[in-house]
Structure formats: C-alpha cells, structure tokens
Structure 1
C-alpha cells in the first residue's frame, strides 16, 4: 500500500515520530517496519523519524500488506450498496433496514460489510468503524484501509463524529429531553439491554421533538455515547418505545422506526468538513 497525504497548511510542526505515533496512531510494530525499510518520504525525499514536518508537506508512506493482519471477507452483492460519500480512505453508505452490519459467523456473506467488500473489490477491503442494529437503516461509516481505522475509532470515542438519528416513538412527547441513564445487559434475555444504574455503562441521548404523527411522535436523537440499543432502551425507559421495535415495544408492527439520518466528521488527514445525509429518511 502507498499513501500520499498532504498535511494541511496550518498544521503545527512536529517530528515524523510524533506524526505517526500520536496523530496517526500507527502501531509500534508497523512504525518499526516503516523505519527499517525507509518507508516514509517527505516531499519525495527519505527522512528520519526525528526530523520535523511542516504544514503543506507531502507525506508518502510505503506500507506492505504483511504489516497488517490479513482478513477473509466473503464477497457479497455490490448492487446493494448505496454510496453517500467516498474518498481514498473513507466510505459512507446508506444501510437498508433488515440488513446486518457485519457477519457474526465466518461463512456469512449477506451483510453490509460483504456487499461493501464487493463494491470495493479487488483492490480494497473495508473495515467496520461503527455498527447499526440490523433493523436500523441509514448512514454508516467504513474505513477503506487499516491505516485510517484506529484514527476513526479514536474520533468516535472522543465524540468527534456527529451522528443524528430519526425515530418515531409510541405516544405523544411534548418537550426536548436529554436522557442520561446507564445501560447494561439484560440478565434474562441475551438479545436485550436494560437500564442498569449500578453496573451499566454511561449512556447519553439527546432527544428533540420533530413533529407529531397521530398518536405517535417523530423525534431526532443525537448520541454522546454508542451503547448497544442505546436509543431504543432510553426511549423505552420513558414509556415511549420505538414504533416497530421487536424487543422493547409490546406491540411491534412494521419496521423499526429508527434511521441514522446524518453523519458529520472532519476528515482525519485533509481536515475537510464532511456532512452526509441519508435520504429520504423516515419523513
């Protein structure tokens, strides 16, 4: 693999070691390989790890396939992929409801990851950055190489990737609310999660009223955390489960009314602002 990345002109000076280790999170073993085979060029010239790089410099990284563990992804159907954004390092696609994000068993070949792999084959293999529940539709981000994957993972942990969801809940909600309740596993049903103030993990969901829909309410949800079933569990805990929820609603009918409508981030290399909307959404 060969990556050519031009540092933004306003980037502060730093050593190559700092760039690879601190900013780009290149694993120690891979940094060692790059250093020993002189696999980094600055403006076309070989440089040592203690030398400085500056804004506007063009960084070329030469990475061998063996530097990162090989994976096997069964190829799916590229025609099932709706691309919302794509560049050399990232791809955002619109996941249909009823499709799993990634395989749980090695032989599976009908998940979104399999289909994105088919779309990118044969040169590129996708990597999952975050997931959506099988029943949830909308924008989902994949890395197109293992080099950018840990950077996106850190951005997700540090809340530098903005995600806003559309949802329709049972009942009439009349005011915006922030739900701050810990979520843990349900001891009686391994598929489910529950509010667990003592042993659960922190979870914060911001809910904004969009519009009434008969006896239901359309809302937007913004996540500060990414717990499994977070929106579904939080809204059910208020007595407003999502319409169509097969796990947390007593009378589910139709599809789960949850859609990842918007995804915003600053590109980890170019610092370009990327804003993606997965239309048409739920309303």
Structure 2
C-alpha cells in the first residue's frame, strides 16, 4: 500500500450532509465505499480530531485531513506499449490516449493497459500511487490525459481536480439536431436498473455539470464541444443522452441509428460500423505543479472521428445539390469538356 495526505475544506453550504457523502463529492476519483472504509479506519481528521463515523453530519467549514491509502502498482507488469507523448518534464507528462486503450488493469483487462505502458516507459512511476494516473478516460474515448511523475506533483494535480481547476474540453458528435448550446446541471449516480451504467439521479447522485456549445449542424447529427465542470464517470455520455442527443456509436447510452433520407449507401455503412462513442478529449489546461504557470495542450480528433465529420459534411453538400435540382444534370467528371466561347457562335 502507498499513502497520500489530502487537505480538504468542507463547503459552508454542506451543513447537515453526511461526512462520507460530502467527501465523495469532493473526491470524485474515489468511490464512496472506499471513503467510508478510510473513515472507519481512523484515517480522517476533522479540525484535528479523528472522526470514524461516516454518517457524521458536518456543519460546513471544517478542515479535513485525509490519509488516502492506495494499492501500489508494484504487482502490475510493465509492458512495452506505444504511447503518444505530447509533453513531458520532471513533474508531469501529457499523452494522447488512443481509442481502445484501457487506463487501469481490472476485471476483463488484467494487462495491456495504460498503467502497464507507463510503468515500462518510466519505471520510477512504481513509487507513485496508481503510477501517477490522476484522472481517466473511457476505453473507447480518445484524447489528452495528464500523468504525475512524482508524489508531490500528483498531490498538486489531485487538488486542482478537486477544485475543478483543470480545464477539460471534449469534441463529440451527437445523434439528432441540437439547436443551441447550454449547460446540463444534473447529478449522476449508478443506474438502479443496471449497476454497470450511470444515470441522472436527482436523489443520491453526485453533482455533475457539463457546458456544451454547438459547432456544426448536419442533416441528422450535431458536432458539439463540451467543457466539464465536474468529472463523473460517463458524464458527457449520460448528460447528452439525457438531453435526447446520445453520442454517435455509443454502445451503452446510444439510441437507434438515425439515417438521413437519401443518404449515400457508403455513408450509411460507415455510420452503422461506427461502434464506439464519438468522443475525444481535445483540450487540456492546468497549472504546472512546479512552475505555477498555466499550461494548455490540444490534440486533433483521431482519424475515425475526422472521417465521420467529413462524411456528414459531404452528405449535407450532396443533399443540398439534389435539393437545388443539380441531380437532373448528367455530370461526368472523368470526361474532358470543350467549352464553347462567343467566337464559336455564328452570327
């Protein structure tokens, strides 16, 4: 086991809430059950006094000292897996995670994960809890992640995430015509019908806020950019589905295919074959743990999402040409045409 000390201030507006519940809100990377076990083990001090009651009602404003115990990564095998490193220095590294790469080993994915790759790329990460991973992306979501290379850097990054000071912006393609941008402020929790899924839970859910902006309209789809204020599991996927505009290809929260009328058969086949959520973490901004400077990175959408957008754009162009009546003409772009000039026309 490895340990890390965190200092948290209970929000003033949390009066009457359970200690375990408010800590779960402040520590989104850790499950409530794990936080409860830390409290019961005497690892939580409130204003300098150990508190071992998860149900303890807070007053607001208390100062919490929490000793976070984490399984170390010494038993995880180092594996040579290619990494797309965007930035690296002595404290952090930023990488562009590809589609299909799982972040942590777990049931069904004992190896071949990002953690295995990181331990091979930088062996000293064995000394850092969770090999320096401070946040995660779903297996089939691509994009930018930051990894701490030292324990102090990890503590600094975790505290930034707790304060919602790390800016994460995603590109997504949705099913349906979303008219305008806005904000989804809906708490999330485990679905009572399926514990493997997340759902909007007005009672018992954790606060979750997503800001979204429409970038481009297609005939039956919308490209959006989403900025996370919080970082709950599957947050964007659930929030967009809650609005009625699930992500293209989402196998868990998606709806049936929406194919525009008269769409090219080749385009239809591509849409049907797009079997992962069209979601990419394209921008990341944070304060560097050592320099204190705000740093920003961007990563372009992967090829499959770029092709998806290109196809949807081309579909719009073809449809608009047909609407204008251009399809009545017999174009043959492979034949040379001799254009007639005014001089060729007889008087």
TM over 0.5: yes
Pair 93,21 (structure 1): closer, same or farther in 2 beyond 3 Å = closer
Residues matched between the structures, number? 218
User: What are the residue-to-residue correspondences of 1:169-248 with 2, within 5 Å?
Assistant: 169-248=174-253
Larger helix percent = 2
Q: What is the SS of the residue equivalent to 1:260?
A: strand
Report deviation, 1:105. 5.0
Q: What is the SS of the residue equivalent to 1:148?
A: helix
Residue in 1 that maps onto 2:78: 75
Residue in 2 that maps onto 1:267: 288
Report deviation, 1:134. 1.0
By relative contact order (CA 8 Å, sep 6+), the higher-ranking structure is 1
Deviation string for 1:204-255 (max 9, x for gaps)?
0000011123310000000111111110110001110000101111237412
Would you say the 8 A contact 1:74–1:108 is kept in 2?
no
Report deviation, 1:106. 11
Pair 107,95 (structure 1): closer, same or farther in 2 beyond 3 Å = closer
Q: Distance in 2 between matches of 1:107 and 1:133?
A: 13
Pair 107,175 (structure 1): closer, same or farther in 2 beyond 3 Å = closer
User: What are the residue-to-residue correspondences of 1:53-68 with 2, within 5 Å?
Assistant: none
Deviation string for 1:141-194 (max 9, x for gaps)?
111122221211010010111000000000011111100011111122122011
Which of 75, 86, 92 aligns to 2:94? It is: 92
Q: Distance in 1 between matches of 2:142 and 2:156?
A: 25
Which of 89, 108, 115 aligns to 2:117? It is: 115
Would you say the 8 A contact 2:91–2:289 is kept in 1?
no
Pair 246,117 (structure 1): closer, same or farther in 2 beyond 3 Å = same
Q: Distance in 1 between matches of 2:6 and 2:239?
A: 38
User: What are the residue-to-residue correspondences of 1:37-56 with 2, within 5 Å?
Assistant: none
Q: Distance in 1 between matches of 2:166 and 2:277?
A: 24
Report deviation, 1:272. 2.2
Task: Indicate whether 1:161 and 2:166 are aligned.
Answer: yes
Residue in 1 that maps onto 2:50: none
Residue in 2 that maps onto 1:38: none
Q: Distance in 2 between matches of 1:221 and 1:171?
A: 16
Residue in 2 that maps onto 1:146: 151
Would you say the 8 A contact 1:74–1:107 is kept in 2?
no
Q: Distance in 2 between matches of 1:218 and 1:280?
A: 12
Q: Distance in 1 between matches of 2:237 and 2:78?
A: 31
Which of 277, 281, 306 aligns to 1:256? It is: 277
Instruction: Give unpaired runs (5+ residues) of structure 2.
Output: 8-69, 258-271, 307-347
Residue in 1 that maps onto 2:318: none
Q: What is the SS of the residue equivalent to 2:152?
A: coil
Question: Normalised by the size of structure 1, how large is the TM-score?
Answer: 0.72
Instruction: Give unpaired runs (5+ residues) of structure 1.
Output: 1-19, 23-67
Between Structure 1 and Structure 2, whose CA radius of gyration is higher?
2
Question: Normalised by the size of structure 2, how large is the TM-score?
Answer: 0.59
